[in-house]
Structure 1
């Protein structure tokens, strides 16, 4: 992919030998060095397209904003202080990526009312009144970096 005088390179592969998918993004290939490199390491063997799309979207936005560094995604959520059910984790995952309740209902093959119930329970667990507060608090607590395990099941 070319952008002006800068060349960008995206390489996705299994480099660790342990079945971990590595996404390597390099800018300015002609002057390749540690300052011009960003990468994402995901510790899982298989990544569904929806999760991979989300990670790539986040990575591309960081590059557009000239942010260099490491982005990481957690595959588990048992290390966070607020415990969520699988469905709550899935709803929050899609909500944090800008999906509406109707879109989440379609993706998860549930009724809109069921998704509304999950979101309302999430607001209670996060001690929030509005959906905007829920989104802000979830990002502050690091939930934006979690991929629910159910999304990794095939």
Structure 2
């Protein structure tokens, strides 16, 4: 049984707006507020301490392995991570959450792990959720997965020193968009897009565009969404806690990248 957190930290979690909780260093739940328990499919009187994501009765459990990999990334890098998670529920309802994770240390109990916060974005009717609801053959065709999808929201800093604009070009290119279509999305010329592709090939140390696509997928970049792309489409309300910080690298998430291939990843 995991060590309990202090009553002070539990009280803070209970007072934070939205669904919130924490896990230990093995991704075992230590505590969560009632809002998160409801989202996870637990009754108010059911304990969550000692459970893992695999044990949750709700539809979120479909991403359990991905969540655990994200937890380990946050702990190993000592950095925050923000993801956008979409779930196609059994009742045909679409649920979407902006999730922020960050390392924490309970000063009273000396317990450490991952603190998480969910902002419900299920009311979105356009942008990201539009093609998910309609199964329209748009750029986000990966949203057609039966269980849903989890994107890592990223800034411009990575181990490969990828710029914000290069990130945007890579994101659309991995989804099968042509240089002209990417240029239309980003309001730049197709020639400029090709220049960014050349820069990306150099940074990924590959010779061809196909090699770039394959290596980017292998390294886990398919489900990394540039922050600028996400905010343009979703424009979520600001979450004041925990504070969002850009993710610096995604190589530890490569297993999730291999699980699903793109329709046109």
What RMSD, in angstroms, separates the aligned Cα atoms of the two structures? 3.6
Structure 1 gap segments, 5+ residues each: 1-14, 30-38
Residue 26 (str. 1) matches residue 110 (str. 2): no
Residue in 2 that maps onto 1:116: 194
Q: Are 1:144 and 2:222 counterparts?
A: yes
Aligned length: 124
* Partner deviation per Cα, 1:37-56 (whole Å, 9 max, x = no partner): xx865437778955444796
What's the offset of the Cα at 1:150? 1.4
1:124-143 correspondence to structure 2 within 5 Å: 124-143=202-221
Q: Return the alpha-carbon distance in structure 1 between the equivalents of residues 189 and 125 of structure 2.
A: 23
Judge conservation of contact 2:84–2:153 (CA < 8 Å) in 1.
no
The residue correspondences of 1:28-107 to structure 2 (distance < 5 A) are: 41-43=97-99, 49-52=126-129, 53=131, 57-60=141-144, 62-63=145-146, 71-77=149-155, 80-107=158-185
Deviation at 1:26, TM superposition (A): 2.9
Partners of 2:164 and 2:197 lie apart in 1 by: 13
**Deviation of residue 71 (structure 1)?**
3.6
Gaps of 5+ in 2: 1-17, 20-34, 37-82, 100-118, 132-137, 233-265
C-alpha displacement at 1:152, in angstroms?
A: 3.1
SS across alignment from 2:86: strand
Listed one character per residue, the Cα deviations across residues 72-97 of structure 1 (whole Å, up to 9, x for unaligned) are 21101568532210100000011011
**Deviation (angstroms), 1:142:** 0.8
Higher normalized helix content (fraction of residues): 1
Larger radius of gyration: 2
Q: 1:73 to 1:117 in 2, by over 3 A?
A: same
- 1:73 is paired with a residue whose SS is strand
Q: TM-score, normalised by structure 2?
A: 0.39
